[in-house]
Chain A
Amino acid sequence: MIELAQRTRRISPSRLLEILAAHDATSVVDPFMGVPTHLNYLKHHGITVHGGDLLEWFVRAGDGLVVNDLTVLRDAEIAEIVEMLPGRIYPIELFKAWEGVFFTEEQCVYLGVWHDNVRNLRSDGQTGLAVYALWNVFCYWLEKARFPDDMPDVAPSELAWSYMQQTERWVAPNNKRNTVRHADVLTTIGELRADALFLAPPARNAFHNADTRIWMWEAWWQANPYFTIEYAYRNSLFGARSSEPHTYAHALVSVVSAADAYPLLIVQTTEQRIGEIEPILRNARPNLEIIAPYPNEIYLVAKR
């Protein structure tokens, strides 16, 4: 059976909003944004948000949940995504390599169909919403493989339909220009300006034990079932080159140095990893506050 990683850290956007409000920050940049639901939350509360990531599906999801103010998925459009359209030839064997290992034959066919349908959508907003909603289906299937008797059997198209409707409800404007970019952390930090920079840096060697649900969905988006996350991170700051403690520390120092222009720096970390980042942050900004409600949810708030 597939191993699904335990969550090692928690990001609470409502708490993040409280921190931003306490410091009068109205805009934030997150260069390690990951699944951008926290940016979606901050956006709804009037914060101007900018995100960046190296995995493309995160950026596509950001197009739907962060950048997109108006484009929604109507029932007819959802129907065109979740089922095979008559007359179209689908690459139904695209994900055959996963068959039997991770998924059933039917699920692999649907993965191929959905990939084709999503790629044919008319706008980035719709594509982003669909990518995020279908990821939820994908996660459901992986959970279902772990708990086959405990979770209800739901037809793939029905499951996809319900997740799309749920995701579509999160679209709302905040009358600000919000952006996401497919870029390395230093590029994102350097090209944007905001009141606050939010960092949730990956752990050292994080790409070695990355969550299956994350990298497999990038493989789906790239239409390459043999995709590896090491490949995506190959030339990045936190890639293989930062696997040693001192090179990892050097990478963190370069991020904190690049963040010099941001008045407020918020770093999310855990009790286990606070020792890696706190001295670096304290060295750069002596005015440091630690908000530690839980061992897996610690915020280091540094002001100039």
Chain B
Amino acid sequence: MTLFQDVGTDPRDQAARLSDLLVAYGAIGSLACGERADLGRRVATIAASFAAFLEFDDALRAAVYYAAVLRSAGGLDNPALRKGADLSERYARLLRGDIPAEGARACARIAALPPLCADLVRWQAEAWDGTGNPDRLRWDGIPIGAQVVHAAAVYAMASDPDDGIAQIAARSGRVLAPELVRSFTMWFHTTGGEPLVEEPPIERLDSSATSAQSLLDFIAAHLDEHDGVPGRCVRIAAIADKLAVRMKLAESDRVALGVAARLYAAGGVAEQVPENERFDPLVRLAIGPRAENARRAAALLADIPSLRSAAGVVGARAEWYDGTGKPAGAAHQAIPLSARILAVAIACEELGYHLALQLRERRTTPLRRLADAAGTQFDPEVVRVATACLENGS
């Protein structure tokens, strides 16, 4: 099915949806880099305010805003952060320096972004003295927009505004241009260092160039590549949607389920080993870690207006039908039907993933195992429909 049908043709609504997805992409990248999920948005708010203080034109301000939002997006593509990466500490550190370049490559493929955005992402970690990443540009070779994002990131990562301005001052002439530090200090004293959250500059997104659906699929594909399971989201979304149709799920719930199926793995993005490799999908031992990943992903989605409806689905995917799951210990109909469907869809995909192993060990078939979990882990009705679907080859 096509997600986000309710948007209609109003370009502002489409742009708002795109903007939300970009925020989600940046947040997932932040988690992959070991940062707080909301860091990108905070950096963007500070950078946009500082850019306005510096009287940047609208196009550059929008590029700075989205570059700040997406500053860590490259974390999903970075080989040193990929699941199962086995690199020496020195080499991994060098490769991590390439996160901005990988983010720039990803941004260059999102046609809706303002033109300068990709290169601001590329150079947002460059240092004034030439010791930054990835290109080791120095002095006025670094675009001022990229320095603004860098300053905002330094400030946003500090423990409080006073610490932030002290960190900025300490980096003058090394990480940040001295003139920029002077301007930042003036901005700090003018605004009090806590800018108001502004509306994202959605009017600068070209919503005719990228659809929300394709951007969502793009993010999900990067997430799957990061986890080393290419195409996972496509498979899970297909299974989930089939089950949703058979179980006559409401249209709005199907949309939420579609988003949840693509982004549910965001919660475990920072873990070294993916969920499906750590645990068999049907063991009780996995409840805790799965619930924790679900909680993180739900918190990320709940913060983003147009993805909020998927948060409840993702957050409840680790609940067990018999009430022994986590985080709420909800049972039966207290678990949203979309979440029950998502849980079965994920298990189907993961059982398929382990199929070769199971055949080799001459254990029971995936379908038999799924059926055994009906009534305890899964909703029996959903399992019945899933089994019927899988048995007739659909």
Interface set of A (CB-CB < 8 Å, partner B): 4, 6-7, 10-15, 17-18, 35, 37-38, 40-41, 44-45, 136, 139-140, 143-144, 146-147, 150-152, 163, 166-167, 169-172, 293-294
Contact = CB atoms under 8 A, between A and B. Distances in A.
Given A7-B141, A150-B181, A169 B90 contact: yes
Contacts of A38: 135-136
Contacts of B141: 7, 10
Interface stretch (B23-31, B98-106, B154-162, B222-230): B98-106
A13 B90 contact: no
Interface in B127-161: 129-131, 134-141
Interface stretch (B65-73, B170-178, B327-335, B372-380): B170-178
B42 interface: no
Contact of B173 (A7, A10, A45, A150): A150
A166 B174 CA distance: 12
B82 interface: no
B130 A150 contact: no
24 contacts: A4-B139, A7-B139, A7-B141, A11-B135, A13-B136, A15-B122, A17-B101, A44-B94, A44-B95, A136-B129, A140-B129, A140-B174, A143-B173, A144-B173, A147-B173, A152-B169, A152-B172, A163-B131, A169-B94, A170-B94, A171-B90, A172-B90, A172-B94, A294-B119
Nearest to A40: B136
Contacts of A4: 139
B210 to A, nearest CB: 20
B94 A136 contact: no
Given A44-B94, A172-B91, A37 B130 contact: yes
B182 interface: yes
Contacts of B101: 14, 17
Contacts of A12: 122, 135, 137
Interface residues of B, number: 31
Given A140-B174, A150-B181, A151-B172, 10 more contacts: A7-B141, A14-B135, A15-B135, A37-B136, A40-B136, A41-B135, A144-B173, A147-B179, A152-B169, A152-B170
Nearest to B90: A172
Q: Which 9 A-B pairs have the closest CB atoms?
A: A151-B173, A150-B178, A14-B101, A147-B178, A37-B136, A7-B141, A12-B135, A14-B134, A10-B141
A145 B210 CA distance: 49
Residue from the set A4, A41, A136, A294 with the largest chain B CB neighbour count within 10 Å = A41
Contacts of B172: 147, 150-152
Interface string B163-196: 0000001101110001101100000000000000
B246 interface: no
A130 B87 CA distance: 27
B93 interface: yes
B1 to A, nearest CB: 36
Residue from the set A6, A12, A172 with the largest chain B CB neighbour count within 10 Å = A12
B178 A136 contact: no
B131 A41 contact: no
Contact of B119 (A41, A143, A144, A293): A293
A185 B267 CA distance: 53
A164 to B, nearest CB: 11
Contacts of A40: 136
B80 to A, nearest CB: 11
A37 B105 CA distance: 21
A216 to B, nearest CB: 15
Interface string B340-365: 00000000000000000000000000
A178 to B, nearest CB: 15
A150 B182 contact: yes
A294 B135 CA distance: 15
A12 B105 CA distance: 13
A131 to B, nearest CB: 14
B243 to A, nearest CB: 42
Given A10-B141, A14-B104, A152-B173, A139 B182 contact: no
A293 B143 CA distance: 13
B130 A136 contact: yes
Nearest to B100: A14
Nearest to B143: A294
Contacts of A13: 134-136
A163 B181 CA distance: 21
Nearest to B135: A12
A15 B138 CA distance: 16
Given A44-B94, A169-B94, A140 B173 contact: yes
A151 B129 contact: no
A15 B102 CA distance: 11
Given A144-B173, A151-B172, A151-B178, A10 B94 contact: no
B98 to A, nearest CB: 7
A18 B98 CA distance: 13
Contacts of B119: 293-294
A171 B94 CA distance: 9
A152 B170 CA distance: 6
A140 B173 CA distance: 7
